[in-house]
A and B are shown apart, each in its own frame.
Chain A
Amino acid sequence: MAYSDKVIEHYQNPRNVGSFGSSKEVQTRTDVGVGIVGAPECGDVMQLHIKVSPQGIIEDAKFKCFGCGSAIASSSLATEWIKGKSVDEALSIKNTQIVEELSLPPVKIHCSVLAEDSIRTAIEDWKKKNGIASTTQATAAAH
């Protein structure tokens, strides 16, 4: 499969790789939202950590990804896009924008969906930790 130059570039130089602590540590941090989506048997697991200010601004974001090049690029791009945005702005990011930016072929669209899901899940986690009511609907189950 031929990858777009942007996918290759993100794969070689992924942005914002990392975490804000171990899986245990981030559980108790109220300034950090955690989103883990996907499953090893599907060949994709995305983990997104966001550090959010009390005003709801995403100050920093880190990702880790087990998945194909397109999955890595999608999550890397997602961290770039959400940094500095408010949580509401971040929630408006659609997977189709990721598909377009990375020129993902149809078979790789699920990678962009996972990236969108990871943003949503991380924000939900931060909201839950801070007693903020959820504003989003549950994401579509079927991919």
Chain B
Amino acid sequence: MAPKLPIYMDNAATGRCDPRVVEAMLPYFTEKYGNSSSRNHKFGWEGEEGVETAREQAAALIGANAKEIIWTSGATEGNNLAIKGAAHMYAKAPEGQPNRGHIITAVHEHKAVLDPCKRLQREGFEVTFLEPKADGIITAAMVKAAMRPDTILVSIMWANNEIGTINEVPEIGKLCHEREVIFHTDATQWVGKMPTDVERDNIDLLSWSGHKIYGPKGVGALYVRRRKPRVRLEAIFDGGGHERGMRSGTLNVTGIVGFGKACELCKAEMDRDGERLLKLRRKLETELAKRIEVTQVNGHADKRLPNIANISFGFVEGESLLMGIKDIACSSGSACTSASLEPSYVLKSLGVGDELAHSSLRLSLGRWTTEEEVDYAIEKITKAVHHLRQMSPLFDLYKEGVDISKIEWQTH
């Protein structure tokens, strides 16, 4: 059966809001519209009740206590608050002085982690950017080797947003706890898809966002550990002292209610969703590799999320490939569209060659992806790659047995 076009395979970017989430949110637009901080009337109490129910739902998804959930506008804010907030709180020297403390992160983190770390570097903190091996994974051993007596914070994402690889987060957390170092993880791609328990997994700070878990955009949560150790953060927003003083500002009640509902649904359905998506992702990867020569699935073979496939097709350029499959919404590893002409820094960090990094697609599946859609994608991508290879001078050279990396190109 032909699927309805276009097909959405960009769930790692964002996803459809679950209709059950929308339904839960609706009363909060027009009926229960009170400010959750208003303590002296029914409207305020209703808003507060919605927010606190959501806090319970969010906490339950990650094995936390509701008091440990801080509402944010999304994972970018959560990452900023966690990283800058912890660095400023635990700094070894005051502002304006050098040697304020050491931070460990990795080169293929999301920009929402890298850029706050770079800002802290300019403010007198030292940052180590760990480099993964070809499998893309950051191990506890890598973090251990980078630890110093003045290390104050480690920030390692749970699963990578471009390649879906899973870092050794529980082990890194354990190491951090042994050394009394604060551990933050950007769990945007992980939470809601995979079982999470901040106690078992030794997490101090964890950020995630609503729209990656079939909830609304513009809302997220930051888990901040309250005991063993009690983690403190310096706020970024000053104001009314909401959220235990860590995040002032009137709460996005509607969004928070949707976020909570999305967490509840993920908790109930993640096992079933995960199993189904893993099967579909494997089919996508193996069928494409079978039909198209010189195809490479990027990242570790098994330690990957069930829903993200990142595949390089040698000798074809990513943007033109996207053009050939325009009824499949997905991402390309080539950043040509952003005018930088730079292939993905994540793929480059894995040692994927430039020409393969330019030739990659990220296909990310979601709750509503069907097998028919996967079959359609396999056919369509195969056709597009063959169309482009028949035009590709690099494919000719490969067929002639010429090593492309040995050619002296006239770079621009």
Spell out A's residues near B (CB within 8 Å).
1, 3, 8, 11, 14, 17, 19, 22-24, 36-47, 63-69, 71-72, 107, 110, 114, 142-143
Contact sample, A vs B, 25 pairs, CB 8 Å cutoff: A17-B391, A22-B400, A23-B396, A23-B397, A36-B410, A38-B412, A39-B411, A39-B412, A40-B355, A40-B394, A40-B404, A42-B412, A45-B394, A45-B409, A46-B393, A63-B391, A64-B392, A65-B391, A66-B315, A66-B355, A66-B391, A66-B394, A67-B317, A71-B317, A142-B412
- Given known A40-B355, A40-B358, contact A64–B391 (CB-CB < 8 A): yes
Q: How far is the CB of B381 from chain A (nearest CB, A)?
A: 16
In angstroms, Cα B322 to Cα A3, docked, is 12
Within 8 Å of chain A (Cβ to Cβ): is B343?
A: yes
In angstroms, Cα B404 to Cα A46, docked, is 14
In angstroms, Cα B394 to Cα A71, docked, is 15
Query: Do the beta carbons of A43 and B341 come within 8 Å of each other?
Result: yes
In angstroms, Cα B402 to Cα A23, docked, is 9
In angstroms, Cα B386 to Cα A17, docked, is 14
Query: Do the beta carbons of B400 and A23 come within 8 Å of each other?
Result: yes
- Given known A38-B410, A41-B354, A43-B341, contact A68–B397 (CB-CB < 8 A): no
Query: Do the beta carbons of A69 and B319 come within 8 Å of each other?
Result: yes
In angstroms, Cα B339 to Cα A11, docked, is 20
In angstroms, Cα B383 to Cα A92, docked, is 37
- Which of A17, A107, A142 is in CB contact (< 8 Å) with B339? A107
In angstroms, Cα B317 to Cα A65, docked, is 9
Query: Do the beta carbons of A41 and B343 come within 8 Å of each other?
Result: yes
Q: How far is the CB of B355 from chain A (nearest CB, A)?
A: 4
Residues in A neighbouring B412, C-beta threshold 8 A: 38-39, 42, 44, 110, 114, 142-143
Query: Do the beta carbons of B323 and A3 come within 8 Å of each other?
Result: yes
Kindly identify, within residues 360 to 376 of chain B, every residue whose CB is under 8 Å from any CB belonging to chain A.
none
In angstroms, Cα B408 to Cα A38, docked, is 10
Number of interface residues of B (CB under 8 A): 31
Q: Chain A: which residue is nearest B348 at the CB level?
A: A41
Q: How far is the CB of B359 from chain A (nearest CB, A)?
A: 9
Interface string of B330-360 (1 = CB under 8 A from A): 0000101101010100000000001100100
Within 8 Å of chain A (Cβ to Cβ): is B38?
A: no
Residues in B neighbouring A42, C-beta threshold 8 A: 341, 411-412
Q: How far is the CB of B411 from chain A (nearest CB, A)?
A: 4
Query: Do the beta carbons of B393 and A66 come within 8 Å of each other?
Result: yes
Task: Name, among A23, A24, A46, the residue most crowded by chain B CB atoms within 10 Å (CB to CB).
Answer: A23
- Which of B339, B341, B393 is in CB contact (< 8 Å) with A65? B393
Residues in A neighbouring B250, C-beta threshold 8 A: none
Q: Chain A: which residue is nearest B399 at the CB level?
A: A22
Query: Do the beta carbons of B396 and A19 come within 8 Å of each other?
Result: yes
Residues in A neighbouring B396, C-beta threshold 8 A: 19, 22-23, 64
Q: How far is the CB of B397 from chain A (nearest CB, A)?
A: 6
In angstroms, Cα B404 to Cα A47, docked, is 14
Q: Chain A: which residue is nearest B404 at the CB level?
A: A40
Residues in B neighbouring A45, C-beta threshold 8 A: 393-394, 409
In angstroms, Cα B318 to Cα A36, docked, is 20
Query: Do the beta carbons of A69 and B355 come within 8 Å of each other?
Result: no
Q: How far is the CB of A69 from chain B (nearest CB, A)?
A: 4
In angstroms, Cα B392 to Cα A64, docked, is 5
Query: Do the beta carbons of B393 and A64 come within 8 Å of each other?
Result: yes
Q: How far is the CB of A31 from chain B (nearest CB, A)?
A: 20
Within 8 Å of chain A (Cβ to Cβ): is B286?
A: no
In angstroms, Cα B406 to Cα A23, docked, is 15
Q: Chain B: which residue is nearest A76 at the CB level?
A: B391
Query: Do the beta carbons of B390 and A17 come within 8 Å of each other?
Result: yes
In angstroms, Cα B358 to Cα A42, docked, is 8
Residues in B neighbouring A71, C-beta threshold 8 A: 317, 320
- Which of A23, A40, A63, A68 is in CB contact (< 8 Å) with B320? A68
Residues in A neighbouring B341, C-beta threshold 8 A: 42-43, 110
Q: How far is the CB of A67 from chain B (nearest CB, A)?
A: 5
Residues in B neighbouring A38, C-beta threshold 8 A: 409-410, 412
Within 8 Å of chain A (Cβ to Cβ): is B114?
A: no
- Given known A66-B316, A69-B319, contact A43–B392 (CB-CB < 8 A): no
Residues in A neighbouring B404, C-beta threshold 8 A: 40
Q: How far is the CB of A42 from chain B (nearest CB, A)?
A: 5
In angstroms, Cα B347 to Cα A100, docked, is 35
Residues in B neighbouring A63, C-beta threshold 8 A: 391
Residues in A neighbouring B318, C-beta threshold 8 A: 43
Residues in A neighbouring B317, C-beta threshold 8 A: 43-44, 66-68, 71
Residues in B neighbouring A3, C-beta threshold 8 A: 323
